[in-house]
Copies of this chain bind each other. A is one copy, B any other.
Amino acid sequence: MYFDFSDKVNCLRRKLELFMESVVYPNEKVYEDQLNCQSTRWQSPPVMEEMKEKARKEGLWNLFLPDREYGAGLSNLEYAPLCEIMGRSLIAPEVFNCSAPDTGNMELLYQYGSPKQKQKWLLPLLNGEIRSCFSMTEPEVASSDATNIETRIERDGDSYIITGRKWWSSGAGDPRCRFAIVMGLSNPEAPKYERHSMIIVPLDTPGVEIIRTLPVFGYDHAPHGHAEIRFNQVRVPKENMIWEEGKGFAIAQGRLGPGRIHHCMRLIGVAERALEILCGRVQSRAAFGKPLVEQGVIQQWIADSRIEIDQARLLTLKAAAMMDRYGNKSARKEIAMIKVVAPNVALRVLDRAIQALGAAGVSEDFPLAAHWANTRTLRLADGPDEVHRMSVAKLELREQARKRGKIDQE
């Protein structure tokens, strides 16, 4: 509430909420049913394109991109309450062309792509015609330390040759997914953070081999999917190099800021929806002679959930506001903080809701278990909690030292 939103944003919120109520929520089951009735789950159900078309007509499209030409021209702070609403449903972000990893990739291409790359890859993504994936994590090394990444990107004449194995390339299960942005080791002799590059690899290039998709707590996440991909001497034109050789870490810093905070915004929505489901349920059931809602423990859960959600939202908004004002780099402490907070808060609220619902909570009858599994991966994806805490500590110690120095000087 204190982070007041402009009329424009409030208007979009209202519109988005109405769209969720009238279009998205009622289609959650339709989507799942269509998925199950198709010959394969690895194909987008028709209802998705229908919803996308409606959303685009309503102007609820590409809201994530701050640029006015390519996107909706909203700041991070303005986008936050909208992204939160989208996060409430697992199928919603795609409806508004605001789903990971595409938003991160679009942001990346927008910031670092060449005009040709933008023309060829960014525009169809912005139009929702194709999808993309991001190939960073590798099965053979502890990717929480990205300097471990081993996949090779080697220059060979006018081409680069990519060789290595990636996994958790999310989205590569979808037949509409046309290219991967691959992070790899291109300059092993360079200083530590200038050894890696990012390059565009069309998925139909010879040598790109999708080995399997990985389940998450039993969910296949079809048609999206989390792919393990082998790059067998994959040759791409040198024009596919993003920015230039050795800029992998520089780009990652730029890409991951918005990508991370979008996850957090969505997770606030996840937690809100879980709390709503919890509150609704405990008012309609009774045990041991009184409604669940009058059990002391349930009340403490509701309060703790509200307390944790409100704090997480405020921290998300603060981080967004700092990104807007001072840039992603200056806001990296706040981004790291909220990246720790948001998934953990959402998991706790989801877990309380599951516990309050009993067996129904772990099933498909409520979106709690699916959200839980998805959220659990976000304590790992884009860096595990512990690595983010390490960053927060280092930045904190640096600031404390600066403050002490200043005081000592006076």
Contact = CB atoms under 8 A, between A and B. Distances in A.
Given A216-B363, A216-B369, A307 B380 contact: no
Nearest to A285: B142
A215 B363 contact: yes
Nearest to A304: B389
A267 to B, nearest CB: 15
A288 B296 CA distance: 12
A373 B364 CA distance: 13
Contacts of A322: 1-2
Interface string A332-372: 01100100110000000000001100111111110001101
Q: Is the interface of A mostly helix, strand, loop or mixed?
A: helix
A393 to B, nearest CB: 4
Contacts of A376: 354, 362
A167 B302 contact: no
A389 B299 contact: yes
A169 to B, nearest CB: 11
A218 B276 CA distance: 22
Interface in A371-391: 372-373, 376-377, 379-381, 384-391
Contacts of A295: 296, 386
Nearest to A221: B218
Nearest to A359: B168
A73 to B, nearest CB: 20
A175 interface: no
Interface string A137-162: 10101111100100000000000000
Contacts of A299: 389-390, 393-394
Contacts of A401: 283
A292 interface: yes
A308 to B, nearest CB: 9
A193 interface: no
Contact of A311 (B2, B312, B377, B386): B312
Interface stretch (A55-63, A89-97, A313-321): A313-321
17 contacts: A1-B318, A145-B288, A215-B369, A216-B363, A217-B362, A218-B218, A218-B370, A288-B390, A295-B386, A297-B300, A300-B386, A306-B337, A310-B334, A311-B341, A314-B318, A354-B376, A355-B386
